[in-house]
Each structure stands twice: as C-alpha cells, then as structure tokens.
Amino acid sequence: MKKVLFLFLFLFANELLAQSILSDFMKLSGPKRTWVALHPFKAQKSDKVAKETNSVADSIRKTTLLDGDPSGGQVDAFRHAYWMARLKQEIGHSAAESLGEAHEEENYLMYKKLALEEGVVPDKISSEMDLHNNKEGLKLISKGRKLPKKELIDAIVNAIRSGKMKVIKKNSKGKFLSCKGDVISEKSLKGKWENNKCLVPSNIKP
C-alpha cells in the first residue's frame, strides 16, 4: 500500500511540475519559445545565467565602476556583455548568440505592443546597441576557457571604459541626444521604432 501511495504522489508531483514548466514555456515570446524548443537541454542553464546576470548587473549599478545607467548606458552594456560571456561558458557560442538574437526579436514584438524593457519602450537603436555589446561579450571568452567571474567582470568593465562597447548618447541630465548633440524630445520618441538617437563608444562621457 505504501509503495502504491508513493508512486501516486511521485506521478502527481511530476504532473504538477510538467504543468508548471508548460505554463512558463507558454509565457515566453514566440522567438524565445522557438529557441527553447531547439535547445531544450540548455534552457535551464540559460535561465540560471539570466538571473545571475541581473543580480551582478544590479550590484554593478550600485557602485561607481560605471555610470549607473541601466537603460542605454554603461550598466546596460555591461549586462548584455556579461550575459553573453556567461552563456558562452555554459551553453556554447552558437546557442548563446542565437538566444541573444531571439531576445532582440522579442524586443521588437514588445515595441509593437508598446511593452516596457528597463522602463522604456524598446527601439531600433537600443536593439543595435544590444547586439553589438552581445558580440563584444562573446569575444571575451575563448573556446573552452572558464574565466573566473571576478576576472570576467573586470574584463567587461575595462572593455566599456576603453570604448569597445556601445551606449546611447545622453546629456548629464539623462536626456537622449542626436548625433549632432541636440536634445531629443520625449514626445518625438513615443511609438517610433526608428528615431534619431545616437550610438557612441562606451567611454564617451555626457
């Protein structure tokens, strides 16, 4: 009787777990669902890396290492570079790169729904910035190399300070600027995928 009860509880627990996993899967955007379907055994690792990345980036934001800007600034660049570098270590270059691309496809869908990412509606220039910083993050990890996290953080901060990453041009008040240095009104940015924001090297100061 005890064995039958144990088997029932085991099957019931597995059924609940399966339903939970399916529910989480269905909450993903189309591009990310496709990625998970193609990389089922790497999805769990990628989720852990994403949580780790957000935690590390939030810690960096609270220091004076970078500019403290998580939306188009150096902390934003750090987050994407760290995410890709850690993904490459855990799931390989190709899977990491394709997940980054799926994320940007998701951002375009978010824009179409006027959803928010880091407090603002995603746009084309933000996507270009992310893809550039993703590639720079991938470059930091040689094939098969397990760079310690402390060294990885230092490498990314140094790359940002040397201008290898990209950020969106802003003034000292956090207002977006065109490449000519003109302040871009918030009204002119609303509902537009393409706008006149400007990408600049990550060591350019407001």
Q: What is the pLDDT of residue 58?
A: 97
3-state secondary structure (DSSP) of residue 90: helix
Q: Which of 161, 131, 146 is nearest to 60 (CA)?
A: 161
DSSP state, 191? Answer: T
Using left for φ > 0, alpha for ψ between -120 and 50, and beta otherwise, residue 122 falls in: beta
Low-confidence stretches of the chain (pLDDT beneath 50): 1-23
Q: What is the pLDDT of residue 31?
A: 78
Tell me: the pLDDT tens digits for 35-64? 888 888 988 999 999 999 999 999 999 999
Q: What is the pLDDT of residue 29?
A: 67
Token pair, residue 153, equals 């953080």
Q: For residues 111 and 121, is the Cβ–Cβ distance under 8 A?
A: yes
β-sheet bridge partners, residue 199: 168
Q: What is the pLDDT of residue 24?
A: 62
Using left for φ > 0, alpha for ψ between -120 and 50, and beta otherwise, residue 92 falls in: left
Q: Which of 129, 143, 135, 137 is nearest to 158 (CA)?
A: 137
Q: What is the pLDDT of residue 146?
A: 77
Q: Which residue is it, tokens 């949580």?
A: 51
